[in-house]
Structure 1
Amino acid sequence: MEGLEDELKCPVCLELFTCPLQLPCHHNLCRRCAEDLLQSETNPSQDDEEGATYSAAAAPSPENTPDSFPCPTCPEVVSLGTLGLDGLRKNFLLQNIVDRYLRLKGDGNTRPHEIPCQLCREAPPRLAAKSCLICKVSYCEQCLTVTHPDFPPFSEHKLVSPTASFNDETVMCPDHPSKPVEMYCVQDQTPVCLLCEKVGRHKQHNMAALEEVFSQKQAELQTWVGRLDARVTLEEAKVRALEDRHEQMMNGAQELKTEIDKQCESLMEVIQHRKAELHRKLEQTRQQDSKDLQKVIKRATDGVQKAQSALSYSLEVLKETDHASLLLAHHSLKAKIEGTINTLGSNSDDNYDDDEYGIDELDIDFTQCKKELKALDFGVLPDTPFADEQCCIGSMEEAYIEWDPVWDANEYEVCYSVGNVQIVSTLKGYSYTATNLTPGTKYKFELASKNKAGRSCPSSIELATTPFEFQLDQNIASRYLLVSEENTQVSKLETPIPLPRASLTLSRFDPEEGDQHTVLGDKSIRRGRHYWEVSVKGQYSIGVAYESMPRNEDICNTMESWAFDYLANGSLYSVWFNGSTYTQRKRIKPPLSKIGILVNYDKSELRFFDANTQTLIFRYKEKAGFTKPLYPAFSLWEGSLKIHSGIECPQ
């Protein structure tokens, strides 16, 4: 019922519909609201009085009643016929939905036996006295008198005690109110009564049974409802995505604001630190210059004091009137004055004001710093790089990705996961090779560009490694085995193949006795699920083994191998481990012609299938887990084996 109430409100009174009328434009309107619109068309300058009661005196006279009014929802003009508003069909379906909604809502203000009048414009409306089963409307005494005068056709309407639901009542024909609808006019697409088929505007139209049309229209509506529901689900998902994006944006903005504050505070700390350092250097220079100048000033002051003393004495000598005394002192006084003058000259420099001190060498100019600070702004993230799908490819254990360069990027980031481990690689170039991947596995790679401003939005590409593919390693095969067909087939020989002494290494299988001989595949399994098939003839053991298994044993008789064994003389099959049978022997007839082997390294599990029918034969789980790389392993003492690898794993 979510959002339903908005659909059940009249566009004029904005309340739940009461006695809704369906307009030709398919919009709906309360009957009393439609009457108000008609009255406003008759008296456009007269405002409705709040709480006015509908009465015969207030209703417009027939000759003054307009024949149209504008739809309050769309630009369409509703044209009325001779029946006026009675010619508009009451929307019983909408009224039923409103009634159900009110019951489900459980409105406690109205008790079940108190049915409000559906035409009263009072707030709240008066209680209904009667309900008309023809009009499907509940009326109070006053509204009933106005709407149902005591003459046909209104006198023929069936009035009952007030009821809130007319669901069980028969829908009556809009053209013949006393007749129930029993047919459907195909041309006008509306339910009609039997009389409409003979007389009136539906005469000679194509008619159909209500039940048939009901099923068709219900199915059609169900289809459209399904489409709407799917579209609503899609739009709801879009809204949720937008809300998530909005939340991300808000969180990103808050994080960016925090980062701005952090960066600016860091800048201010640097400025404050440099300010303190400059003050320290300035004070140090000032103190040194002051000390030097104080020494100069003291020497100059001492010289001036001595000169002042000599000057005062000389002035007193000049006051002497005795000729002989002055002449006797002349020579010594002159020498004293000359000595004082010379002393002043040696203690001071005539260009003392041009001397340079440390303070004179200091200068400060933050113009460039101011420009850089004023230029502080958000950095521009680089564009998103996209992989060139035509150049990207996956092999058995590697994936190669190539992309076009982004002009404003300094480096690129490739991110992917191997199992539960996320791998992030940063590089300067325009290609990347992911290694040590699991064969036959799909990987999602995310590619982003980076610069000083940050990391771009990533793009993604999915690449799949090819399934596990191998050949037989003829360099370690027993000399009694012939490896052929591009190292995919092995056959048992009666006599050994003569080989150069240099090729007879310790890694080659060469049993001391017996006639069963072994060969391994040339590729190992370290993780993941892998599958291959073997076409079989003769007597054999097939399975997996560690590379370190003994070279003088078959794969049924070691602690480092797991074997599916076949004895041709009894059509018996079994699984071997630790040199003994792990499962009870199973007799299968006719003998298998092709066997599938599925290895799940991560779960330490082996499965053997009838490859022709994909029927599981044996299943084995290694409790201790696989601890080393596994190699496909084959022991043969009669017949031949054909390898089929590079096959997708069965589900």
Structure 2
Amino acid sequence: MEEMEEELKCPVCGSFYREPIILPCSHNLCQACARNILVQTPESESPQSRRASGSGVSDYDYLDLDKMSLYSEADSGYGSYGGFASAPTTPCQKSPNGVRVFPPAMPPPATHLSPALAPVPRNSCITCPQCHRSLILDDRGLRGFPKNRVLEGVIDRYQQSKAAALKCQLCEKAPKEATVMCEQCDVFYCDPCRLRCHPPRGPLAKHRLVPPAQGRVSRRLSPRKVSTCTDHELENHSMYCVQCKMPVCYQCLEEGKHSSHEVKALGAMWKLHKSQLSQALNGLSDRAKEAKEFLVQLRNMVQQIQENSVEFEACLVAQCDALIDALNRRKAQLLARVNKEHEHKLKVVRDQISHCTVKLRQTTGLMEYCLEVIKENDPSGFLQISDALIRRVHLTEDQWGKGTLTPRMTTDFDLSLDNSPLLQSIHQLDFVQMKVQPRNCDALHFQNTKASSPVPATPILQLEECCTHNNSATLSWKQPPLSTVPAEGYILELDDGNGGQFREVYVGKETMCTVDGLHFNSTYNARIKAFNKTGVSQYSKTLVLQTSEDTDSEEQTLPFPVPSERLPLRRMSPFSSTLNLQPSFPGRSYFDFRSSPHQLSLHSSLQSLNAPGELSSSDLSS
């Protein structure tokens, strides 16, 4: 019931309808609000001038006026009567529910008559505040519009169910709470409106005024008034015009414009339209039920997205932490190497210092001894030892001249950290669009997701067609059977198996490639990916190739998978995820098939910092 409340409120005043009337566009307005939005039109567009000009269009035919609507949603609040002599433009306001509200063309009457029954200015025009269609009124004015008594009854029942306070039906602005109801006028009044519009004198003195609650009960118990014809106010509706889609009286059929139209019984059409409305409501009810279920699904998706986001963030943090740990471990290893080099340099320099110190002490002692010998005045004694001293001095001098005064170690560290592969891998570290159907989305959403990122599926290596022969390897692959996105080509990459970088050895449309020129008795890692105009797929699982030993004996190729009776005997752990087989005899090679996540290249880069030996481009050819 609460959702229905907006259907029961006037688009102009924003309150419940009071004496609603039906416009030709099927929208409703309060009688007082309809009078407030009347606008005078040029004299040339009056109904009389239209009839005088021979126009056969009805006074309430608004189809031609759609093209010259006075006000539209896109204007600035001012309008003119398009196509004719301009009328005074009038600024418009906003009603409580957001539609345009036009100020009254004339001040409201201060008589005891209802505003809707007061005289209407000649050549008046009314514009629907909802669809903005304009309509020129005829001599009947607002009385020419039928009253929506069904809407009145719905509002009464709704207010009774809500036990809402009854409002005055004659207040010009915000309606005040009603204090009395006139049973004869069937109108609720507040005290100011009762004194102004229903004074207790004259014929009105005989009217019975009751409290609003009692008036509501009496209105509900009293027989509902039968709607009368808008053209013949004393006649009740008795038939239904099929062409005009409106109830008519018998006088309309005899002398009115409906005389030549097809008519049907009012009761039969009432039941038929009720049945049609019920059928339409059944379809709308199904859509509303689907909408409720869809809203529940969307709310569940919000919760699931939040949970998945937390889970994904935790996984991302764990992966990044693992990379950081690997980098820290490599950092510790490199620092250990630097410390080892540091200790080695210090040891060499300290040993040289010790050696030079001892040598210098010996040299200094020899020099002092020779100086003392020179001071002696005994020629024969001096000559006995002079030759030996001269030889010792020359020998000592020669010892200082053979690189002894050159440092055995430099102060610089002849090490340079090669971090460019790691930085490149870090910069290339990104998310990959997975081609996996979401668990909590329907098939349509999955199709839309695939259409939004049509990258090729990951190729599958055909192990039964892969083999090695001597120092060459042949690899074969294919697209997944259920893949719907075609691949324009494939990229085969190979590394040296020692943690080196992968290098492209083949780019093309073929699904088989033979790589020659590999080293004998070596291990290589191979992987494949597909590409198209949108991007590249994920890498396939890594295939570890081991070439055969260099031998002159007759060689033959052994395909994969290898028969179990010809495999070398080896005990495998039940928890092992890698099968690594060595050749059982010269000339035969086997494969190692393992899972390779995307972080493998980054881990390889971490392990290859300062790692000697890389697979040169001259060693690979496609």
Relative to the length of structure 1, the TM-score reads 0.49
- Return the match for 2:291 from 225, 235, 240: 235
- Mapping for residues 131-530 of structure 1, pairs under 5 Å: 131=182, 137-140=187-190, 161=210, 163-164=215-216, 168-173=223-228, 174-203=230-259, 205-311=261-367, 328=383, 331=387, 333-345=389-401, 348-349=403-404, 351-353=406-408, 355=409, 360=413, 362-382=415-435, 407-410=457-460, 430=481
Name the residue aligned to 1:44. Answer: 90
- Return the match for 2:124 from 61, 67, 73: 67
How far the C-alpha of 1:29 sits from its partner, in A, is 2.6
- Residue 184 of structure 2 is aligned to residue 127 of structure 1: no
Question: Deviation per CA, 1:32-70, whole angstroms, max 9, x where unpaired?
Answer: 3333323799883598999x9985269899685662233
How far the C-alpha of 1:295 sits from its partner, in A, is 1.2
How far the C-alpha of 1:299 sits from its partner, in A, is 0.7
Question: Deviation per CA, 1:613-648, whole angstroms, max 9, x where unpaired?
Answer: xxxxxxxxxxxxxxxxxxxxxxxxxxxxxxxxxxxx
Task: Determine which structure has the larger strand proportion and give its number.
Answer: 1
- Taking a change above 3 Å as real, the CA distance of residues 233 and 47 of structure 1, as seen in their structure-2 partners, is closer
How far the C-alpha of 1:129 sits from its partner, in A, is 4.0
Question: Deviation per CA, 1:73-124, whole angstroms, max 9, x where unpaired?
Answer: 22322433323333222322222222222222333xx2xxxx3212313445
Whole-Å separation in 1 of the counterparts to 2:437 and 2:458: 10
How far the C-alpha of 1:271 sits from its partner, in A, is 1.7
Whole-Å separation in 2 of the counterparts to 1:31 and 1:240: 42
Question: Deviation per CA, 1:429-450, whole angstroms, max 9, x where unpaired?
Answer: 859xxxxxxxxxxxxxxxxxxx
Whole-Å separation in 2 of the counterparts to 1:48 and 1:380: 49
Name the residue aligned to 2:85. Answer: none
Whole-Å separation in 1 of the counterparts to 2:148 and 2:423: 74
- Report the residue type matching 2:424 in the other structure: K
- Taking a change above 3 Å as real, the CA distance of residues 101 and 63 of structure 1, as seen in their structure-2 partners, is closer
Q: Say whether the 8 Å CA contact 1:172–1:181 is kept in structure 2.
A: yes
Name the residue aligned to 1:117. Answer: 168
How far the C-alpha of 1:376 sits from its partner, in A, is 1.2
Q: Say whether the 8 Å CA contact 2:168–2:189 is kept in structure 1.
A: yes
- Report the residue type matching 2:13 in the other structure: C
Whole-Å separation in 1 of the counterparts to 2:189 and 2:145: 19
Whole-Å separation in 2 of the counterparts to 1:218 and 1:170: 20
Whole-Å separation in 2 of the counterparts to 1:71 and 1:430: 61
Whole-Å separation in 2 of the counterparts to 1:257 and 1:14: 49
Q: Percent identity?
A: 25
Q: Which has the higher contact order (CA 8 A, sep 6+)?
A: 2
Structure 1: segments with no counterpart, 5+ residues = 386-404, 413-426, 432-450, 455-651
- Residue 27 of structure 2 is aligned to residue 27 of structure 1: yes
How far the C-alpha of 1:410 sits from its partner, in A, is 4.3
How far the C-alpha of 1:378 sits from its partner, in A, is 0.9
Task: Determine which structure has the larger helix proportion and give its number.
Answer: 2
- Taking a change above 3 Å as real, the CA distance of residues 97 and 209 of structure 1, as seen in their structure-2 partners, is same
Question: Deviation per CA, 1:315-342, whole angstroms, max 9, x where unpaired?
Answer: 7778x69796997575455334223223
Whole-Å separation in 2 of the counterparts to 1:142 and 1:84: 27
- Taking a change above 3 Å as real, the CA distance of residues 132 and 203 of structure 1, as seen in their structure-2 partners, is farther
Q: Say whether the 8 Å CA contact 1:38–1:65 is kept in structure 2.
A: no
Name the residue aligned to 2:548. Answer: none
How far the C-alpha of 1:72 sits from its partner, in A, is 1.9
Relative to the length of structure 2, the TM-score reads 0.51
Question: Deviation per CA, 1:7-26, whole angstroms, max 9, x where unpaired?
Answer: 22333333333333322211
- Report the residue type matching 1:79 in the other structure: I
Q: Say whether the 8 Å CA contact 2:457–2:480 is kept in structure 1.
A: no
SS in 1 for 2:433: coil
Name the residue aligned to 1:477. Answer: none
Task: State the Cα RMSD in Å.
Answer: 4.9
- Taking a change above 3 Å as real, the CA distance of residues 327 and 121 of structure 1, as seen in their structure-2 partners, is farther
SS in 2 for 1:381: coil
Q: Say whether the 8 Å CA contact 2:376–2:382 is kept in structure 1.
A: no
- Report the residue type matching 2:246 in the other structure: T
How far the C-alpha of 1:206 sits from its partner, in A, is 4.3
How far the C-alpha of 1:200 sits from its partner, in A, is 4.5
How far the C-alpha of 1:186 sits from its partner, in A, is 3.3
Whole-Å separation in 2 of the counterparts to 1:175 and 1:338: 147
How far the C-alpha of 1:365 sits from its partner, in A, is 1.5
- Residue 145 of structure 2 is aligned to residue 94 of structure 1: no
Whole-Å separation in 2 of the counterparts to 1:46 and 1:248: 48
Question: Deviation per CA, 1:530-562, whole angstroms, max 9, x where unpaired?
Answer: xxxxxxxxxxxxxxxxxxxxxxxxxxxxxxxxx
SS in 1 for 2:273: helix
Whole-Å separation in 1 of the counterparts to 2:130 and 2:539: 52
How far the C-alpha of 1:312 sits from its partner, in A, is 5.5
User: How many residues are paired up?
Assistant: 386
- Taking a change above 3 Å as real, the CA distance of residues 262 and 83 of structure 1, as seen in their structure-2 partners, is farther
Q: Say whether the 8 Å CA contact 1:68–1:78 is kept in structure 2.
A: yes
Whole-Å separation in 1 of the counterparts to 2:17 and 2:371: 126
- Taking a change above 3 Å as real, the CA distance of residues 140 and 407 of structure 1, as seen in their structure-2 partners, is closer
Name the residue aligned to 2:514. Answer: none
Whole-Å separation in 1 of the counterparts to 2:194 and 2:263: 36
- Report the residue type matching 1:82 in the other structure: D
Structure 2: segments with no counterpart, 5+ residues = 40-77, 80-87, 97-103, 439-454, 463-477, 483-536, 541-622
SS in 2 for 1:285: helix
SS in 1 for 2:21: strand
- Report the residue type matching 2:90 in the other structure: P
SS in 2 for 1:69: strand
- Taking a change above 3 Å as real, the CA distance of residues 336 and 44 of structure 1, as seen in their structure-2 partners, is same
Name the residue aligned to 1:640. Answer: none
Question: Deviation per CA, 1:579-625, whole angstroms, max 9, x where unpaired?
Answer: xxxxxxxxxxxxxxxxxxxxxxxxxxxxxxxxxxxxxxxxxxxxxxx
Structure with higher Rg: it is: 1
